Structure 1
């Protein structure tokens, strides 16, 4: 991967392990949060349901990668549908929370949480990959590079999200720059859907893949767009 990918990955690891893991732990729980964070929580809940609905209803025997698993909610739901899930996140602290929250009874499924890079080839092969809001901090060409790396080890589908370039999102980023740098995450990198489509369709590493469903979810301060890649 590119130098920008490595640099941004390091920034995110530092941010989530040193600054944001307690706030993220609260956001992804049932604890009361501010009105702004409540809209982010609701939007993330909607997005998680959307991405899971794009996977087969019965995941028995399927191996699923939750790339950027955070505190593990999506991975647990996939496991409850029968999948063998590997959840990987660059933040060891978030992985620790995910392990603590893993229920003892997952039916016929199983889940393992591991700190590390979603592109680590040692993770093996998968039937499906989900990357929810784990690519939104990377430039568009790095997003496509990650997708190509994941697709090379995936048999079925890759579903992911990106930050769509919208006036509302641009305004939120402008407001966010008023906060001290140590208190905010590395910048989100908005990209237009047309630009991302062009890069995906023009990348020879993804020549055996096509873009399927796409859906934008906007709930207050949460704006994110889901996209599906399936084998041609």
Structure 2
């Protein structure tokens, strides 16, 4: 584990994007996200997103030990807390952070009573050095709105404070996602959600080489959900 990267290492655009993400999830999409991450009926399109997210979460959690007793784990961008609950059930001391206070409240409410002593919830920046050091970090779909430069700075900062691996996802640069990206940019910013930034995963992996060993964990492609997982071990 190396010294943490300074907070000013983030690209200036990071804070602006982070604030848009907070506004979207905390004020616009909270009810939609709460329903999507539950067992409630959803549209066919959203059902594919739900299934894809379930598969990706399983893939990411499979990279961590089944027994996490004694380990401190950061769930960076915990959302409604599905991964948080699984990590705590494995015995981890979990720090669950999300930029949206509303989603953090949902995650806290849903956490089984018997696991509450193992989780510290926090609303704020998942990259804050004040959160401390960790044995493992997972960041599922929480860096999908950022540029390659911002992702690199984020992962380097997290890896510097992590003994084991930092497992995270990005939207891969595919024809479908690029079409959606260009279509999304045609709408006024106030009328749409933050736009995902598709990444060339090979180039991103090479850019992250200085942070540690990079492992390609694979891709989940399920209807309207597509995401690619990578792991960096400092």
Do both share a fold (TM > 0.5)? yes
TM class by shorter-chain length? over 0.9
CA deviation string 1:69-110 (max 9, x = no partner):
001000110110010001000001100111111111239x71
CA distance in 1, matches of 2:218, 2:43: 26
1:133 aligns with 2:133: no
The residue matched to 2:108 in structure 1 has which SS? Answer: helix
C-alpha deviation, 1:174, in angstroms: 4.4
Q: How does 1:57-76 map to 2 (within 5 A)?
A: 57-76=66-85
1:103 aligns with 2:106: no
- 1:214 aligned partner: 217
C-alpha deviation, 1:182, in angstroms: 3.7
CA distance in 2, matches of 1:51, 1:10: 26
CA distance in 2, matches of 1:30, 1:18: 22
- 2:53 aligned partner: 44
The residue matched to 1:148 in structure 2 has which SS? Answer: helix
1:6 aligns with 2:15: yes
- 2:230 aligned partner: 227
The residue matched to 1:134 in structure 2 has which SS? Answer: coil
C-alpha deviation, 1:175, in angstroms: 4.8
Give 5+ residue unaligned stretches, structure 1.
none
CA distance in 2, matches of 1:184, 1:47: 25
- Contact kept, 8 Å, 2:219 with 2:228, in 1: the verdict is yes
CA distance in 2, matches of 1:183, 1:85: 35
- 2:194 aligned partner: 186
The residue matched to 2:163 in structure 1 has which SS? Answer: strand
Bigger shift: residues 67-76 or 192-201: 192-201
C-alpha deviation, 1:146, in angstroms: 0.2
CA distance in 1, matches of 2:192, 2:83: 24
CA distance in 2, matches of 1:151, 1:95: 24
CA distance in 1, matches of 2:11, 2:62: 32
- Contact kept, 8 Å, 1:19 with 1:183, in 2: the verdict is no
- Over the aligned positions, Cα root-mean-square deviation in angstroms equals 1.6
CA distance in 2, matches of 1:193, 1:93: 31
CA distance in 2, matches of 1:113, 1:155: 21
- Contact kept, 8 Å, 2:214 with 2:233, in 1: the verdict is yes
CA distance in 2, matches of 1:88, 1:140: 22
**TM-score when scaled to structure 1?**
0.92
The residue matched to 1:212 in structure 2 has which SS? Answer: strand
**TM-score when scaled to structure 2?**
0.91
